[in-house]
Chain A
Amino acid sequence: GAGVSQTPSNKVTEKGKYVELRCDPISGHTALYWYRQSLGQGPEFLIYFQGTGAADDSGLPNDRFFAVRPEGSVSTLKIQRTERGDSAVYLCASSLWASGSADTQYFGPGTRLTVL
């Protein structure tokens, strides 16, 4: 079946601009995660959705970052007033939800964001 997809694959923007990054999870996966991977680093957690609600947004670096998942499927990560330090690969992952057990997270290909 189809895996997690992310669009666009690459995004180049100018400092100060607004960007939206989209994630389509695997059908039926209720849990959705956003991570950010800077050069030479491992992925870093940003936010986690269970259904439509953000269950944990403790990883969002500041209030310029916001994410939504209005219908419990597709999610959009929004970054306002982008800064050069926001340049990274943004990864999305999804998983089934099973209370009390650790479910495998399936990752998308990522969106490479470059802020000039």
Chain B
Amino acid sequence: AQRVTQPEKLLSVFKGAPVELKCNYSYSGSPELFWYVQYSRQRLQLLLRHISRESIKGFTADLNKGETSFHLKKPFAQEEDSAMYYCALMVGGFQKLVFGTGTRLLVSP
């Protein structure tokens, strides 16, 4: 069965520190993975997707099929990065997303 695991409910760092939000997945097919972000009082929005291999707001994520991981990284966290981050797996065929439980990132000054 397909599953996305985000082991950390909360990640608290200081401004300027590196950030890594962990995501592991379980899926027998070819995975398509996404990171969505939800800022306070805003709607869920796409941050990045692995197939585009782009960096958004300084965040990057590399798909590691051997470790079945798609960790989100940023070298220097900013206070405005504080938000809820969800890793999601797109299940092939009908394109539904399977989400992890989310990690709250708190960046302190």
Contacts and interface: CB of A to CB of B under 8 A. Distances in A.
A42 B95 contact: no
Interface in B20-34: 32
A55 interface: yes
Contacts of A95: 95
A12 B4 CA distance: 31
A44 interface: yes
Contact of A42 (B46, B51, B94, B101): B101
Nearest to A95: B95
Chain B interface size band reads 20 to 34
Interface residues of A, number: 26
A91 B45 CA distance: 12
B2 to A, nearest CB: 10
A31 interface: yes
Interface string B43-70: 1111001010000000000000000000
Contacts of A51: none
Given A102-B32, A102-B49, A43 B43 contact: no
Contacts of B43: 3-4, 107-110
A105 interface: yes
A65 to B, nearest CB: 16
Interface in A83-113: 91, 95, 102-110
A40 interface: yes
A102 B101 contact: no
Contact of A40 (B45, B49, B101): B101
Contacts of B90: 102
Interface string B72-109: 00000000000000101010001111111110000000
Contacts of A43: 44, 86, 97, 99
Interface of A: 3-4, 31, 33, 35, 40-45, 48, 55-56, 59, 91, 95, 102-110
Interface of B: 4, 6, 32, 36, 43-46, 49, 51, 86, 88, 90, 94-102
The 9 closest A-B pairs by CB, nearest first: A42-B99, A107-B44, A56-B94, A45-B96, A102-B32, A109-B43, A102-B90, A43-B99, A42-B101
